[in-house]
Amino acid sequence: MSENFKNAKKFLRELPNKPGVYCMLGAKDNVLYVGKAKNLRKRLPNYFQNELRDSKSNLLMSKVFNIDITITHTEAEALILEYNLIKKNKPRYNVVLRDDKSYPYIYISTEHPFPRIEFKRRANNLRGKFFGPYPNVTAVRETLTELQKVFLVRQCKDSYFRNRSRACLQYQIKRCSAPCVGAISKDSYANDVRSTMQFLAGNNKSIVNALVRQMESCSEEQEYEEASKYRDQISRLKEIQAKQLVATNKKSDIDILGIASDGFVHCITIISVRMGAVIGSKNHFFKLNGNATKQDIQHGFLTQYYLGAKPPSEIIVPIEALGSDVLVNVLSKKACKKIRISNKVRGDRLGWLKMADKNAIYGLECKVSSEASMKAQLNALGELFMSGKSPERIECFDVSHISGEATVASCVVFNQTGPIKSDYRRFNIKSAVAGDDYAALSEAVGRRYKRIKNGEELLPDILFLDGGKGQLSKCLSILNEIKITNIVVIAVAKGKSRKPGHEQLFLTTQDQPINLASDSPALHLIQRIRDEAHRFAITGHRQRRSKNRKQSRLDGIEGLGPIKRRDLLKQFGGIHGVMKAGIDDLVKINGISKSLSIRIFNNLHNHS
């Protein structure tokens, strides 16, 4: 224990003999660690012993300047508060899930007369029925595709649904029953929605039995076309059941955890079983400062993951869970059903547990291998351009447009573990002349590095540009204006053949471009960063171009609201008719004054 925490003795004497949560704070009152205790007076003195149980605790306590405590009525309340504080503050010494997105669900808008089925990140303000969570987005997409083929429930947005006057392509290819144009009755559509929800709940057998009864009824009444529809649905459901790779006769909802650790990087794999069928798996990675046991990792993960997602009926873990009674009680109340956490299992469950452990080990090996490769590439880059020092932060710019339309510049950021997507930035270029890549790059670099100069962003060690000598010169002039001179700037040109491996690198320190060997680790990293900048730029350009083309030429005209716009288009049969109309023709439309008709005419013909 360092001498940072001056009032330790007084603090320990005044600790209450009650459950609660404690936050260990650093020199700037930043939260270093959040923990819970059944009894604060008994728990916290353990941190002030001369010899702590592990290096992680020693490292933590050497940085602690103060401790905040919050007393709770019960240990369950402490568990929930601990979860919320970890999620909010992301302390560096806690197990924190870096992928903090909400989990994927399938959502059915049951409040709508003709409900829609769609992929959704769970939102508490939505009325309807959620099914999940699913282990990953791919599992949701695949399920939606299968459901679309069987039950023909619409997946289009409500705004699209309201404005249809004839059936869309989805109806033509038998992926929707077209309730938007009355091609199916409300009752029949409701039956399809009910069957969909039964399927998602895992009641496949009852659905098939119901469909068989409906098929036989239609056949007896000689409604053969309707009977064939039910026959096809039954056949498709049988195919889906046959595709399930792992299944049991027990309709169980279970999550199975596997854990692998190399002491620094930790991987937890979740295999999700729903209604006895394995529907997928997902790896979660995180790093901790200091040593942590697998039991600590497992405990931190269980609270962080399942207090933020709907838990299944049973969670199987490889190690006995710490404080499982409290966690089980909290999760059971949250899910309104009995939850179990098991670690001594046999039969199918033991097979799944072994499979989860194998997946975790494989996931960890891939992660470590990827990071080792990244480290080697960074070291090679440092040897070439930074006198042997490995770069800690790299940025790359690219510009995308088509004949100057919707020009977008991108900036991607990499560090020693790979891309930092939260630091990526796009710039909609406005001031540059259409098609002028130099001007577009100058604007983007200027906007980006003025923020860095003001301390709003971090300064990179190396800046790459997708381009040649001209881009390098423009960028350097902008950086000199801003007075940023302590970064390495490199322009990456494709070379004469424009094939990968033949890139030319332009530097300020070299009169001639550098050509690296095609098997150079440094070149492989440069290519990866350059390609990512290109992908990010072209995606932004396509989005901007699509948005521009959806806008009407009538948008933005002062005094011309949506109702008058609609009336104009109706009266003249579309935008081309409005373009041909003169000022006297425009005035004849109800609500269009002389001054407004002049504005409309001038606006349209100035753009044409």
Domains and CATH numbers, the chain: 8-89 (3.40.1440.10), 104-243 (no CATH), 254-366 (3.30.420), 393-548 (3.30.420.340), 562-607 (1.10.150.20)
Q: What are the φ/ψ torsions at residue 535 (nearest 5 degrees)?
A: -60, -45
pLDDT of residue 247: 42
User: 312: how many CB neighbours lie within 10 A of its CB?
Assistant: 22
pLDDT tens, position by position, 175-230: 899 999 999 999 989 988 988 888 777 666 677 777 788 788 888 887 877 788 77
Distance CA 117, CA 121 (A): 13
Length of the chain: 608
Contacts of 1 (CB under 8 A, 6+ apart): 8, 47, 48, 49, 50, 61, 62
Return all residues near 428 (Cβ < 8 A) that are at least 6 apart.
Answer: 407, 408, 540, 544
Rounded CA separation 192/392 (Å): 55
β-strands 462-466, 488-493: how paired? parallel
Give the residue carrying structure tokens 């619409």. 154
pTM: 0.53
| Residue given tokens 């606006």 in the structure block | 603
Average pLDDT over residues 132-149: 75
Examine the pLDDT at 127 and tell me if it is beyond 90: no
143-170 residue pLDDT tens: 788 778 778 899 999 888 988 888 999 9
pLDDT at residue number 250:
57
Average pLDDT over residues 358-370: 82
Mean pLDDT of 439-465: 88
Query: Which of 521, 482, 488 lies closest to 396 in space, CA to CA?
Result: 488
pLDDT in tens, 282-304: 888 877 766 678 888 888 889 88
Q: Given the structure tokens 């008994």, which residue do they identify? A: 42
Least confident among 3-17, 356-370, 422-436, 529-543: 3-17
Q: In this predicted structure, which of 252-256, 500-504, 530-534 has the lowest mean pLDDT?
A: 500-504
pLDDT tens digit sequence for 236-281 = 666 655 444 344 445 678 999 999 988 778 889 898 887 776 667 7
In Å, how far are 143, 201, 202, 221, 233 from 273, measured between CA atoms? 14, 12, 11, 41, 24
489: helix, strand or coil:
strand
Round to whole Å and give the CA distance between 175 and 180: 14
SS3 284: strand
pLDDT score of 245: 37
Please tell me the predicted confidence (pLDDT) of residue 550: 63
Tell me the pLDDT tens digit for each residue of 49-89.
766 666 778 888 888 888 888 888 778 778 877 877 887 88
Supply the mean pLDDT for the chain: 82
What tens digit of pLDDT does each residue of 369-428 get? 777 888 889 999 999 999 889 999 999 999 998 877 788 999 999 998 889 998 999 998
State the sign of the Cα–Cα–Cα–Cα dihedral 189, 192, 197, 198: positive
Cα gap 545→301, rounded to integer Å: 43
| Span of 126-135, 243-252, 562-571 with lowest mean pLDDT | 243-252
Q: Which of 10-14, 352-356, 554-558 shows the highest mean pLDDT?
A: 352-356
Dump the DSSP string for 356-387.
HHHHHHHHHHHHHHHHHHHHHHHHHHHHHHST
Contacts of 10 (CB under 8 A, 6+ apart): none
C-alpha distances out from residue 314 to 76, 274, 332, 360, Å: 19, 11, 11, 20
Strands (E), 375-471: 393-402, 405-415, 418-419, 425-428, 462-466
CB 526 within 8 A of CB 507: no
pLDDT for the residue 1: 42
Query: Taking 90 as the threshold, does the pLDDT of residue 451 lie above it?
Result: no
- C-alpha 48/C-alpha 564 separation (Å) is 74
> Which secondary structure element, helix H or strand E, spans residue 278, and what is its range?
strand 277-287
Residue 387 in tokens: 């006198």
The predicted model gives 100-127 an average pLDDT of 79
